Chains A and B, each alone.
Chain A
Amino acid sequence: MRRKLAFTFILVAAVLFAYVVYLLILMRNSGEEYQQRILSQQGYDMQALAFRRGNITDRNGTVFAYSEEVYNLILDPSVILYTANPKKPQPNREATVDALVSVFGYSRDEIEAVLDEKPDAPYVRFAMQLSAEEKERFLQYQTEYNTAKDSSKKRLHQDRVTGVWFETEYKRMYPYGTLGCTVLGFSGAESAEGHWGIEEYYNSSLSGVNGKIYSYISPEGDYESVTEAAVGGRTVVSTIDYNVQKIVEEEIAKFKPLHEYKNIGVVVMDPTSGEILGMATDKVFDPNTPMDFSAVVSDEEFEAMTEEERAALQNSVWRNFTVSDAYSPGSVSKELTVAMALEEDAIETDTKLFCDGGETIQGTTIHCHKREGHGMMDVTGALMLSCNDALMNIGTRLNVPTMLKWQRQFGLGSRTGVDLPGEATGILFTEENMSAIDLATCSFGQGYSSTMIQMASAYCSILNGGYYYTPHIVRQLLDENGNVVKNVEPELVRTTISEATCEFMKQAAYETVQNGGGYGARIPGHTVGGKTGTAQKYPIEEQNYVVSFMGFTPAASPKLLVYVVVDELEHEGTDVSSLPVVEFERDIMQRIIPYLGIPEDAEKN
């Protein structure tokens, strides 16, 4: 036994010695090549990690927009076309293409074309935004197929589904569909870029930072790998109230089929802080599918359109009328004229004014809407009757520089700075080109233009005691863990008018609704103030009107402002009634009041 044991020991030693010789040969023959391969495969390992775009919520945390994980399908033709045995070229090709065709229904020719075009590429993004379910379906098919092949009797040496992998990405989801579309905007296919609305204005906050894994060989020849995790975007908490927004959009939807119009805009604000509680237009799109215009035009029509026509269509659907379009505000601005005249001591609260049906300035007669004249009235009466002649009287007591100074004081003629994209400035006269006639028309809101957000913000300052806040639509920015990164406090830009004037203006507006032109806006149990507006659009001959109503409640200390504008409302001849718009505003306000918990402050009759 000793001899045999010794022999066995020597045999083991011999085998191990043979190994050493084999290793030596391996190192001498292939050492260099293998070292190169190691270095090359280390560098191969570079990858980007997609960030998650931040959510957009309403003021109470209701999620308007979030990002969901989706998967991009990546083809690796260098693997799919890999040939190990020259006798059987590209053994995996057929099985892999079959798998893609049968699981996803892709066109076979399309896949083959990609494979033929880029046979050596390790990364071809073939399809985007597949759901987790689709990804699982493919992986299951792949596993089943490959397992079956492993145990099949058929002679197939490398027939496998391979070279297909999935890259994680995020898809933007808007759970409420069209709700708030004008305010929200939308985010593109890559979820990285926002377009219109909050998505665009707050794009940099909503965007995070892509992570990456990169590797390199240090000067010492060591392999270093660094992973930078992706940083998610901020959550944007808007000032919008889900319920208010919903009411506004529902009421617009009710109004739309009953009337003819070109544009409708509604802005709901909190006058005490400049926060926008709701904002909508008649243009509706689903941010989940922003490129789908089937609600506006038929598919055939869309196909027939030129590039420019399509661009115009997109612009009209996505554009936010309330901030991007300027128009003549009309009589709504009479409150501003009276307020500035009071501030300038051009009139007193008890100044008597006389209307004879029109005013002739430098040979041009400008009529009041009541040709026979309103007769004698005081300042409050001028507002209640919305008398153009009386307002022109007030206007002449001011001069051109004073009018322009106060228009600017009320934020007209320049951007309000609202945190939405595409804001227009509106056009004011300049001292050089403003004539006495222009001064007269400006006093009742004709001849210059302003946006809804400008007029609403100017009113807010009248209603809150003279403080002009930047109107804003975002309250807070939160980080990924829900911690507050930034609070958007009301930003006081300037003071406009004195508190005494404010009180008078509120009272006059209350009277206007109670006993004047805004009669239709009354809400039982609540004190409502407001001012109608009907402005002629240029050219005058076409007889188009912008009809609007600015309402607020409670009249003494307003918590809610609703401004409604209907552009080119239908009318008979020169007689345009503002009543449909006034009632439209009332319907909105009436439904919002309970949601905001504004207590009753008047008799119910």
Chain B
Amino acid sequence: MKKRQSEKGIRWLSGYDFSLLFVVLFLCVFGLIMIYSASYYTAETKLHNGMYYFRHQLMLYGIGLAVAVAASLIPHKYYFWLVWPGYAAAVICMILTDFTKLGINTNGQTRWMRVTSTISFQPAELVKVAIILLTAFMIHRHTKGMNGAKWPLIILGLCAVPGVLVLKNNLSSGVIILAIPIAMIMLVSENKKRRIAFWCMLAAGLALMIAIKAMPLDTLIGIGERIEDAGILKAYQLRRLYIWNTPMYDARGDGYQVVQGLYAIGSGGVFGKGLGASMQKLGFVPESANDMIFAILCEELGLFGAISLIILYLFLLYRMMMIANRSRDVFGSLLVVGVMAHIALQVILHIGVVSGILPNTGVTLPFVSYGGTASLFYMGEIGMVLSVGRDNPEMVLPAEKDGRS
């Protein structure tokens, strides 16, 4: 009896990816150190409590860790049950935020939803998780249908509902919410034509971006004036393009954040000024602990620190890829792929924005940036990935519903 129990115990934990959990915890601790360093000055001067952001984040990571471990212990087949309630909750929260007084308006954008007088959260983060669950579930049910047009369109249609609601106030999150299902569908779709079209479009978009970014400002303004005359884009939209091309175009106005971020990164050098020694965090880089934390990291730890962090993220993605490959069912596998896509997009967008390669928009760096809601949901996602990673032979999910596709 005793022996069987212990065997069962071992089996119960077999496949549990401790190195993935370790990397995540490492990133979280690293993030806490960076938040402490980046936010101390602002918190001390504005809130008279230098530890404010650090403490808040520490508490959330405590809760987040519990969430992750709990989520990892639930067999992932039970996540089926979360798909539709999660989706419904996401849509309802977005509607409440966008159209009722529960939405908190800051700087003209409504990104937060009030829960109690002291607790509020960003429903966009909930939408991201709900979309991953939904897409994984739909693809699981209609794997073969992914080659056709009907089911991918249904999935994208479902994702577009909360996606558009998010897009209204938060461009970057909206883009991520729509990009995740596309990435997941493209990964399972065997339709060659579509694949070629996808890569062509991606390459074209990339080429356009590189062209705009690399073009001399004078040329861009020249083109911009013609586009404006043709009535395609408005002056203020073009202005953003000019600032993206050359942040110095409006170094004291809309380009301020990017310019200050560049000063931070550029002055850091290869090994940085040393932990805690950033000068730009002293009120010059706005959002130094969340949207711009990578700039402070570069200033303090230099290129060396940036590369180390990137390697950590790559390792994290690699471990997830292994789990996705190992999963015995499509749902589990796609769940992991969705989380991978989410984290990879956040990292690419964050670093791209901070270093001025991409147009300025607020994106947090997973596990490192300050941000209550986001960190809780990230930890939940990691819990789901760990759950899929557990090698549980008893876990057999309902087969794909044939005939419907």
Distance in angstroms from A381 CB to nearest chain B CB is: 78
Chain A nearest CB from B83 CB (Å) reads 21
Q: Mark A138-160, 1 if CB is under 8 A from B, else 0.
A: 00000000000111111111101
Contacts of A82 in B (CB 8 A): 252
Q: How far, in whole Å, are A152 and B307 apart by their CA atoms in the complex?
A: 43
Q: Across the interface, do A20 and B310 meet the contact criterion of CB distance under 8 Å?
A: yes
- Kindly state whether residue A291 has any CB partner on chain B within 8 Å: no
Cβ contacts under 8 Å, A33 to chain B? 266
- Is A106 part of the binding interface, using a Cβ–Cβ cutoff of 8 Å? no
Convert B342-360 into 0s and 1s, putting 1 for each residue whose CB lies closer than 8 angstroms to a CB of A. Answer: 0010011001100101000
User: Which chain B residues border A24 with CB–CB below 8 Å?
Assistant: 303
Check A38 against B267 for contact (C-beta < 8 Å): yes
Whether A5 contacts B337 in the complex (CB less than 8 A), given A37-B263, A87-B221, A151-B234, comes out as yes
8 Å CB interface, A376-412 against B? none
Q: Could you tell me if A22 and B355 are in contact, using CB atoms closer than 8 angstroms?
A: yes
Answer yes or no: A41 CB below 8 A from chain B CBs. Answer: yes
Question: Is the pair B347, A16 in contact by a Cβ cutoff of 8 Å?
Answer: yes
B325–A2 contact, CB under 8 A? yes
Query: A110 contacts the other chain (Cβ, under 8 Å)?
Result: no
- Minimum CB–CB distance from B350 to chain A (whole Å) comes to 10
Report yes or no: A23 in contact with B355, Cβ–Cβ below 8 A.
Answer: yes
Q: How far is the CA of A84 from the CA of B251 in the complex (A)?
A: 9
Chain B residue contacts of A362, Cβ below 8 A: none
Size range of the interface on A? 35 or more
Interface pair B235/A153, CB less than 8 Å apart: yes
A residues 11-39 in Cβ contact with B at 8 Å: 12-13, 15-16, 19-20, 22-24, 26-27, 30-31, 33-35, 37-39
Within 8 A of A (CB), among B235-271: 235-236, 238-239, 242, 248-250, 252-253, 262-270
User: What 0/1 readout, one digit per residue, does chain B (215-241) give for beta carbons within 8 Å of chain A?
Assistant: 001100100010011010011101100
In the complex, chain A residues whose CB is within 8 Å of the CB of B218: 85, 87
Chain B residues with Cβ under 8 A from A151's Cβ? Answer: 234, 236
A-side contacts of B235, CB under 8 Å: 149, 152-157
- Bound together, the chains give a CA A22 to CA B238 distance in angstroms of 25
| A38–B279 touching, CB < 8 Å | yes
Q: Is A222 an interface residue (CB 8 A)?
A: yes
Chain A's closest residue to B281 (CB) is A223
A11 to B336, CA, bound (A): 18
Report yes or no: B187 in contact with A5, Cβ–Cβ below 8 A: yes
Contacts of B248 in A (CB 8 A): 84
Q: How far is the CA of A85 from the CA of B221 in the complex (A)?
A: 9
B324 within 8 Å of A (CB atoms): yes
A19 and B349 CA atoms in complex are apart in Å by 11
Measured in the bound complex, the distance between the Cα atoms of B306 and A39 in whole Å is 23
B310 touches A38 (CB 8 A): no
Tell me whether B282 and A16 are in contact (CB under 8 A): no
When distances are taken between beta carbons in the complex, the residues of chain B under 8 Å from A79 are 252
Contacts of B325 in A (CB 8 A): 2, 5
Name B132-187 residues within 8 Å CB distance of A.
183, 186-187
A150 to B324, CA, bound (A): 46
Task: Report the Cα distance A355→B92, complex, angstroms.
Answer: 112
Considering only residues 81-130 of chain A, those with a C-beta below 8 Å from chain B are 82, 84-85, 87
B122 CB-CB contact with A under 8 Å: no
B52 CB–A CB distance under 8 Å: no
Is B79 engaged at the interface, CB distance under 8 Å to the other chain? no
Which residue of chain A has its CB nearest to the CB of B252?
A79
List the B side residues contacting A557 at CB < 8 Å. none
Are A22 and B324 closer than 8 Å at their CB atoms? no
Please count the residue pairs between chain A and chain B whose beta carbons lie under 8 angstroms apart in the complex.
129
Tell me which residues across on chain A come within 8 A of B333, comparing CB atoms. 1
Given known contacts A27-B268, A34-B262, is B303 in contact with A20 (CB within 8 Å)? yes
- Across the interface, A16 reaches (CB within 8 A) one of B268, B273, B279, B351, namely B351
Which residues on the B side are within 8 Å of A20 (C-beta)?
Answer: 303, 306-307, 310
Instruction: Out of A87, A158, A222, name the residue touching B277 (CB < 8 Å).
Output: A222
B337 touches A84 (CB 8 A): no
- The minimal Cβ–Cβ distance linking B287 to chain A, given in whole angstroms, is 18
Q: Is A590 an interface residue (CB 8 A)?
A: no
* Known contacts A34-B266, A151-B236, A12 near B348 by CB under 8 Å: yes
Are B269 and A27 in contact (CB-based, < 8 A)? yes
Q: Across the interface, do B303 and A4 meet the contact criterion of CB distance under 8 Å?
A: no
Q: How far is the CA of A15 from the CA of B358 in the complex (A)?
A: 12
Q: Does A8 contact B (CB under 8 A)?
A: yes
Q: Among A23, A30, A85, A158, which residue has its beta carbon within 8 angstroms of that of B298?
A: A23
Stretch of B21-29, B314-322, B375-383 contacting A (4+ beta carbons < 8 Å)? B314-322
Give the CA-CA distance A150 to B268 in the complex, in Å: 34
Question: Which of B234, B313, B318 gathers most chain A CB within 10 Å?
Answer: B234
Which residues does chain B contribute within 8 Å of A155, judged by CB atoms? Answer: 225, 228-229, 235
Closest to B222 in A: A87
B188 at interface by CB-CB < 8 Å = yes
In the bound assembly, the distance between CA atoms of A12 and B179 in angstroms comes to 14
Q: Is the CB of B357 within 8 A of A22?
A: yes
A162 close to B (CB within 8 Å):
yes
Contact code string A328-345 (vs B, CB < 8 Å = 1, else 0): 000000000000000000
User: For the complex, is B387 an interface residue (Cβ under 8 Å from A)?
Assistant: no
The answer to whether B234 touches A35, judged by C-beta atoms less than 8 angstroms apart, is no
Assess A1 versus B221: contact at CB under 8 Å? Given A27-B269, A38-B267: no
A27 near B270 with CB under 8 A, answer: yes
CA distance A487 to B3 in the complex (A): 90
Q: Which residues of B contact A168 (CB under 8 A)?
A: none
Interface flag for B42 (CB, 8 Å): no
Query: Is B280 interfacial (CB-CB < 8 Å)?
Result: yes
Evaluate contact between A30 and B266: CB separation under 8 angstroms. yes
Write out the residue numbers on chain B whose beta carbons fall within 8 Å of the beta carbon of A8.
183, 187
15 further A-B pairs in the complex, CB-CB below 8 A; given A37-B263, A152-B234, A153-B234: A5-B187, A5-B324, A9-B317, A12-B344, A16-B314, A20-B307, A27-B268, A30-B262, A34-B264, A41-B284, A85-B217, A87-B218, A157-B221, A222-B277, A222-B279
Which 7 A/B pairs are nearest by Cβ-Cβ distance?
A34-B266, A35-B267, A34-B263, A223-B279, A150-B236, A34-B267, A30-B266
Sample of 25 A–B contacts (CB below 8 Å): A4-B187, A8-B183, A12-B314, A12-B317, A12-B348, A16-B313, A16-B348, A16-B351, A23-B298, A26-B355, A27-B269, A34-B262, A34-B265, A35-B267, A38-B267, A38-B279, A41-B284, A84-B249, A85-B249, A152-B235, A155-B228, A156-B235, A157-B238, A157-B242, A158-B239
